[in-house]
Amino acid sequence: MTSGTTIPTRPVSTTGERTYNFSAGPAILPEPVLKQAQQDLWDIDGSGIGILEHSHRGPVVDRVFEEAKADCRKVAGLGDDYEILFLQGGATMQFAMLPMAFLTPEATADYPDTGVWTTKAIKEAKRFGNVNVAFDGSEHNYDHTPADDEMKLTDGAAYLHYCSNNTIYGTRYGQPPSTTAPLVCDASSEMFSRPWPFDRHAMIYAGAQKNLGPAGVTLIIIRKDFLEKANTDVPTMLNYRKLAESDSRLNTPPVFGVYVMGQVFRWILNQGGLEAVQQKNDAKAKLIYDAIDGSGGFYRGVARSDCRSTMNVTFRTPSEELDKKFIAEAKERSMDGLKGHRDAGGLRASIYNAFPQKGCEELVKFMGEFAARAK
């Protein structure tokens, strides 16, 4: 059966080549995942119906959810003591949903502030209880994440919330902070980019649109004993326990996002898991950091070198004018998305899991040529 008329076509690239997409998010996705999605948009599992068109309560979507959850646990090395949720509202919704469920007016939560995203999380948490800003990164222009001895923690904190990779400044933690409080991580811009002690966490969450899939779905990994403590006197759609009981399907869920995430988990497993992914990411990031450090001071890294992110490489040329020129010329060479975030300025190369090494090599080549011309 076919139906419908055609719609006007949009322009496509004349060469068929894809641009190197250095965008911080929404960001590049793995090619095999995109190709599989193209096929499954038309017909998934031989059902004669595409993934966008299936009921969220039917067997095909049941399978998609089951496999995505199982593969997510496999990638993270976690067992059934963790619940996997696929929620809406982005990572930003978690900034409010977490304290609404786990913070009370009498209690205090620890929040090291390592930049814009944690600042926003702190603002939301203050609506529900006390916040101890355990580290104030603004004193150092957010150029690093805190060592344990730089943090002032609260005895008996309700939880400690941190952001493992700071997308805007290009800094990341080498290890999660040490605490006896339940540990909660915003891993949005580096989820599944390296092995991480997920089992030390009460909860980890990540907006999908960087390393996991399309915008519109947020991955939540939550330990069941922590989940049991969640306040249930909240609006239904913000009730972690109800959401878990309904398998993230209290209402119509973002099925396509869950489907793509599931494909991305499988792609990670097929490569050999997080160790293999990390090796590739380390090699890619090293190429660019070496180019920065070897430029005789022409390029300057934004993040302190011991806290450099392998996902978001932030740097500057000697002037804003040259930054602009760099971005424009890079674009002519099919390298897009290199403008730094408006709060940090400069340049940022986001090189998530799916970003190819060849693209990093091309960028490094261009960086060398650009610096030689500008010097």
Ligand X SMILES: Cc1ncc(COP(=O)(O)O)c(C=O)c1O
Give the DSSP H/E element, type plus range, for residue 72.
helix 59-76
Query: Which of 108/188 has CB closer to ligand X?
Result: 188
The token pair that represents 255 in the structure block: 């099925």
Euclidean distance between the first and the last CA atom of the chain, given in angstroms as a whole number:
63
Query: By the 8 A CB rule, do 215 and 236 touch?
Result: no
356 in contact with ligand X (CB under 6 A):
no
88 in contact with ligand X (CB under 6 A):
no
Stretch that binds ligand X, among 185-193, 225-233, 256-264, 344-352 (CB under 6 A): 185-193
Catalytic member of 69, 110, 117, 143: 117
Q: Considering only residues 108, 114, 167, 314, which one is a binding residue for ligand X as defined by CB under 6 A?
A: 167
Q: How far is the CB of 375 from ligand X (least distance, A)?
A: 34
Query: Which of 40/207 has CB closer to ligand X?
Result: 207
x-or-dash pattern for ligand X, window 123-162, by CB under 6 A? ----------------------------------------
Query: Which of 204/371 has CB closer to ligand X?
Result: 204
Q: Considering only residues 92, 154, 246, 271, which one is a binding residue for ligand X as defined by CB under 6 A?
A: 92
Q: How far is the CB of 372 from ligand X (least distance, A)?
A: 33
From the list 291, 261, 312, the residue with the least C-alpha distance to 364 is 291
Catalytic member of 71, 143, 186, 323: 186
With b meaning 16 or more CB within 10 Å and e meaning fewer, what string describes 333-350? Answer: eebebbbbbeebebbbbb
163 in contact with ligand X (CB under 6 A):
yes
210 is catalytic: yes
The token pair that represents 254 in the structure block: 């973002």
Query: Which of 189/239 has CB closer to ligand X?
Result: 189
CA angle 352, 356, 358 (to 5 degrees): 140
267 is catalytic: no
CA angle 364, 369, 374 (to 5 degrees): 125
HSE-up of 145 (CA within 13 Å, CB side)? Answer: 23
The CA-based dihedral angle spanning residues 128, 124, 232, 213, taken in that order and rounded to the nearest 10 degrees: -170
Query: Which of 207/337 has CB closer to ligand X?
Result: 207
Q: Considering only residues 137, 207, 337, 359, which one is a binding residue for ligand X as defined by CB under 6 A?
A: 207
| Widest CA span in the chain | 66
25 in contact with ligand X (CB under 6 A):
yes
186 is catalytic: yes
113 in contact with ligand X (CB under 6 A):
no
Q: How far is the CB of 145 from ligand X (least distance, A)?
A: 12
Query: By the 8 A CB rule, do 109 and 132 touch?
Result: yes
Q: Considering only residues 26, 50, 90, 345, which one is a binding residue for ligand X as defined by CB under 6 A?
A: 90
**How many other CB atoms are found less than 10 A from the CB of residue 150?**
15
Strands (E), 114-201: 130-136, 160-163, 165-166, 171-172, 183-186
Give the whole-angstrom CA distance, residue 80 versus residue 88: 23
Give the whole-angstrom CA distance, residue 43 versus residue 214: 19
Query: Which of 108/114 has CB closer to ligand X?
Result: 114
Stretch that binds ligand X, among 37-45, 86-94, 229-237, 258-266 (CB under 6 A): 86-94
186 in contact with ligand X (CB under 6 A):
yes
99 in contact with ligand X (CB under 6 A):
no
Size of the site for ligand X (CB under 6 A): 11
Residues that bind ligand X (CB under 6 A): 25, 90-92, 117, 163, 167, 186, 188-189, 207
Residues recognised as catalytic:
117, 186, 210
